[in-house]
Each structure stands twice: as C-alpha cells, then as structure tokens.
C-alpha cells in the first residue's frame, strides 16, 4: 500500500502557542491557503481512500484535497486525532514545555495502539492501493515511528511536522516498509 500522510494547515491556536489536543482548532487564513496548496499538490494522485482526523482543523484541510477526489471514499476517524492533552488544552506551550505532563494526558503507547489500528485497517482494505491519512503533528510522528520500526517514544526525536507536510511510504506485509518522502512542504514555497 502506498500511504500518503499529511498534516493540517496552520491554526489560530498554533499562532497563539497553545495546546490543542482534541479541540477542533480553527485554520488561519494562511492555513486555508496551505490546505488549498496541498490539494493542488495532490490533485494528480489516484487515491483509493482518504482517512482524516475528525477534528475540524484536519477535516477542513482534508476537504481541500477531497475537492480534487470527489469519488474517493472518505472516513473521518478519531483514530487520527492529535494526542488527548486533557487539562493541558488551551494552556500556553511555553509554560509547560519542560514540566511533567499532568494525569490524564494520553500516553504515546495509547497513540501507538491507535496508529496500529488505523494502519492495519487501511492495509487490510487497500493492500495494493494508495491511501491518504490526514492527521496532526503528534499522531503523524507516532505513525512514522511505527512504520520505521521504532517504539512510540522515538516519535519525540523526529522533526516536528511542518504545516501540510507530505510524507509518503510503501507499506508492505511484515516490516519491510520503505520511506519515499518525509516532512516535505515544498508546495508552500
């Protein structure tokens, strides 16, 4: 399966530097422009399915891709949501950057379980197809860690996903996956 993994566009919450977690988030004018450029970039892809986080910021970004793929099946799923940040939602990242996470914050292992489930579901249904996943910085890095055979904690060592970043992988039976492209946002240049 060819997997195209993308992140949503810039949000008002990104600009303010606050944790979003499972809140919908609101794309900025720049974020909408980024989403449109992502749609243009991917318009020539033959997509067999699109799976998107059901959170507004990502669903809105995915809709800009869907405009070019109106007959492609679309699934909005909580499995591609950003990390559940519980009581951190709405707090400034600068105030919590080096502090321990409070109780209730989703573990990376729980995120990894979600990543395995959505990846397995898509692979079982489209083993020879091309599938788009639209997600968030955190879940995308956990998915990348899973694909390259690292533990979920490794996701913190990966480069932060750029706005509307495109990642492409060849997913194969077993662990012989291939990285085609990582964290590319050249469509924004």
**Interval 93-115: pLDDT, tens:** 998 877 888 899 999 999 999 99
**Interval 110-144: pLDDT, tens:** 999 999 999 999 999 999 999 999 999 999 999 99
- What b/e readout covers 93-132, taking b as 16+ CB neighbours within 10 angstroms? eeeeeeeeeeeebbebeebbebbeebbebbbeebeeebbb
Whether 177 sits among the annotated catalytic residues: the reply is no
Burial of 183 (0-12, 13-18, 19+ CB in 10 A): middle
Question: What total of structural domains would you count in the chain?
Answer: 1
Confidence grade of residue 70 (pLDDT, cut at 50, 70, 90): very high
CATH classification at residue 114:
3.40.50.1240
Q: Which of 13, 64, 69, 82 is catalytic?
A: 82
Confidence grade of residue 175 (pLDDT, cut at 50, 70, 90): confident
Question: Which of 15-24, 87-96, 122-131 shows the lowest mean pLDDT across its residues?
Answer: 87-96
Please state, in angstroms and as integers, the Cα–Cα distance from residue 52 to each residue in 17, 32, 99, 105, 185, following that order.
Answer: 23, 16, 31, 22, 19
Q: Which of 8, 13, 64, 136 is catalytic?
A: 8
Query: Which residue range(s) make up the domain with 6?
Result: 2-188
Whether 22 sits among the annotated catalytic residues: the reply is no
**Average pLDDT of the residues of the chain:** 96
């Amino acid at each position: 399966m060819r997997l195209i993994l993308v992140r949503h566009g810039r949000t008002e919450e990104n600009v303010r530097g606050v944790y979003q977690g499972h809140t919908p988030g609101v794309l900025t004018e720049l974020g909408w422009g980024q989403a449109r450029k992502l749609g243009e970039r991917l318009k020539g892809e033959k997509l067999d399915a699109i799976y998107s986080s059901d959170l507004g910021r990502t669903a809105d970004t995915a809709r800009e891709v869907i405009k070019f793929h109106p007959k492609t099946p679309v699934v909005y799923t909580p499995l591609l949501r950003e990390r559940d940040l519980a009581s951190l939602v709405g707090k400034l990242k600068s105030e919590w950057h080096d502090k321990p996470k409070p109780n209730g914050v989703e573990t990376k292992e729980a995120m990894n379980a979600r990543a395995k489930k959505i990846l397995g579901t898509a692979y079982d249904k489209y083993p020879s197809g091309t599938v788009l996943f639209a997600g968030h910085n955190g879940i995308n890095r956990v998915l990348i860690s899973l694909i390259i055979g690292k533990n979920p904690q490794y996701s913190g060592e990966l480069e932060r996903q750029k706005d509307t970043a495109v990642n492409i992988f060849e997913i194969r039976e077993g662990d012989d996956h291939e990285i085609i492209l990582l964290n590319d946002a050249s469509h924004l240049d």
